[in-house]
Amino acid sequence: MDNTSRRPSFLIYKSFYKPIKNLSNEDKGKLFTAIFEHQTQDFDGSEQVIEPQIEMAFEFFKNQFELDNKKWEKRVEAQRANGKKGGRPKNSVEDDAPDEKPNEPKETPGFLNNPTKPKKGEKEIEIEIEKELELELELEKEIIKTEKKKEKKLAKQQKKIVEVNFFSKTLDELRQDLGNPSLLRNDGGIQMARFDTLSCRLFFFFNSNQNLPRVQHFEIRDTKGNLIDKKEHIQNCYKNFKLT
């Protein structure tokens, strides 16, 4: 959290609203509090505790904040490097010498005989900032696209490793095997059910538009949200769920 603590501000994009709009007002408030606790590191205990119902949304924000912080750090380093290159070193002889013409008035900038470059107006500055943000968003989209490709590849690897077939199971059938889900969520015709243990989480996705929704996709992740791709770790996860 060094990057976050050094940065005086953080960005929340308009596109962030869509993934959280179905949360209750209470959960939106909890998410808002969790975001500021994360940014300021102002929370009780040695680690921040995120409530299950907002955890997925919080991870979405957290990942974006980490990307923004990396870009901010690069920009700070670039400015610091430019600062080292620029500027005239102090010359004690020249700087300490008295003015030969102390009473001569200085030239006033802005007249025809002494033109100066006009300062940029607020509108021009805003346009430049907008262009910079658009470039950043394009870069973020490429990063997200790359990350999704990696996750898709990992998910395929999981399917080859797993020994328990969850496809086509209903939510009631999953309850019989795994107990009650820690989180249920509907978003745009997709229902998600998450089952937790202390070391891993199982995510199941259903088409909620079907009369009897069945598992169409599932993922095995660790408690930090990363996809698990090693066979021994997947087997340990199954043991925690008492599936083996």
Please give the pLDDT value at position 4.
47
Q: For residue 175, what pLDDT band results from cuts at 50, 70 and 90?
A: very high
Domains in the chain, number: 2
How distant, in Å, are the alpha carbons of 123, 200, 238 from that of 192?
45, 16, 19
Is the per-residue pLDDT at 30 higher than 50? Answer: yes
* Residue 17 belongs to some domain of the structure: yes
pTM of structure: 0.40
* Residue 7 belongs to some domain of the structure: yes
Q: Interhelix angle for 25-40 vs 52-85, to 10°?
A: 40
Give residue 195's domain range: 157-240
Is the per-residue pLDDT at 178 higher than 50? Answer: yes
Q: For residue 21, what pLDDT band results from cuts at 50, 70 and 90?
A: confident
* Residue 151 belongs to some domain of the structure: no
Mean pLDDT, residues 79-87: 64
Residue 178: which of 207, 151, 215, 228 has the closest Cα? 215
Which residues are CB-neighbours of 66 under 8 A, at least 6 positions away? none
* Residue 128 belongs to some domain of the structure: no
Is 117 exposed, middle or buried, given 0-12, 13-18 or 19+ CB atoms closer than 10 A? exposed
* Residue 168 belongs to some domain of the structure: yes
Distance from C-alpha of 42 to C-alpha of 52, rounded to nearest angstrom: 20
* Residue 126 belongs to some domain of the structure: no
Whether the CB-CB separation of 12 and 31 falls below 8 Å is answered with: no
Please give the pLDDT value at position 41.
87
Average pLDDT over all residues of the chain: 76
- 14, 45, 77: which is the final residue of a domain? 77
* Residue 150 belongs to some domain of the structure: no
Mean pLDDT, residues 26-39: 91
- 43, 77, 111: which is the final residue of a domain? 77
- 59, 77, 95: which is the final residue of a domain? 77
* Residue 56 belongs to some domain of the structure: yes
